[in-house]
Structure 1
Amino acid sequence: MRNISDVIEEYLKHIIQDNPHQVIEIKRSDLAEKFQCVPSQINYVIKTRFTVEKGYIVESKRGGGGYIRIRRIQHLDEADLIDEVLLLIQPQVSQSRALDIVERLLENKVITTRESELILSVIDRNTLAFPLPFRDEIRSRVMTAMLSKLKYK
């Protein structure tokens, strides 16, 4: 059974996908009313499901006429996306951020399912059994090496 956060995320992604500019503007209160939830639930979904690592830019304006604008980041080509990701993971990257990035690369068909599984297996905290912050630095270096190789395949 899916939870309300999953439903809200799917709804927003569907609207963004249907928009030719890959951008939407919503009012937190209107969305909360539509899904019969509190506005903080909307904040949670946007903060955790629409991150730069996942390929979104979120802008918000608070106040009476406030809105939230969610824009899907669009890239000219795969190399452009990989370049952006390389900037995001330097000089270190947590496992959760790395997972979001790998999912984004898979979603954008920059990597295959098999490649994503290989990347995830080598960057897992159990594989990189080092103390923090060294583990996040090593994860960054491993991902950088793998993505750089994929960029020039």
Structure 2
Amino acid sequence: MQGQNISDIIEEYLKRILADTHQIEIKRSEIAQLFNCVPSQINYVINTRFTIQNGYVVRSKRGGGGYIRIAKVNLISDADVLDDLMTVIGNNISSTQAFQIIQSLFEDNVLTQKEANLILAAIDQQTLAFEDKRVENAVRARILISILNRLKYDD
């Protein structure tokens, strides 16, 4: 574990648990205590590593009996998840976020490696080399939403 930061370690721990089950329910304070860190560190990991773009749905309940529920989802088998993903993309998306989505689709065996690489080439920063970053991110979003709609309605 040398060279790993605490966020990487927490992420690996949660993903190991998720490998055995489709969904986990955790208490932020318990995980923070386990890793001897502040609870906000757990929030950071969940908010940055367990996103819809990465193929996870996170639900939480605050308060004394509160919890955080993390579920690994198949992006294509659940139309609601795809709709959520398209909502997250919205009118613009960065190349980093777009890569995460394509990576998740590949990991879920929705895309072959060749298909994923072709899409990545089409939405790459060098391909969409617009002077205005906003235009680049908007075009990338349109391409991704079009691809997701095609996957959603294509049997």
Return the TM-score normalized by structure 1: 0.80
CA offset digits 1:50-100 (Å, max 9, x no partner): 111112111122222221111222467498876765555343322222111
Superposed, 1:1-153 pairs within 5 Å as 1-19=3-21, 22-74=22-74, 77=77, 85-86=85-86, 88-130=88-130, 131-146=132-147, 152=154
Contact 1:78 1:110 in 2 (8 A): no
Q: CA RMSD in A?
A: 2.7
With over 3 angstroms needed to count, the CA separation of the structure-2 counterparts of 1:99 and 1:122, relative to structure 1, is same
2:52 is paired with a residue of what secondary structure? Answer: coil
Distance 1:59 1:78 in 2: 16
- One-letter code aligned to 2:136: R
Give ranges in structure 2 of 5+ residues lacking alignment: none
Number of residue pairs the alignment of both structures matches: 151
Contact 2:75 2:105 in 1 (8 A): no
Distance 2:143 2:92 in 1: 10
Give ranges in structure 1 of 5+ residues lacking alignment: none
Return the TM-score normalized by structure 2: 0.79
- One-letter code aligned to 1:142: I
Distance 2:78 2:64 in 1: 40
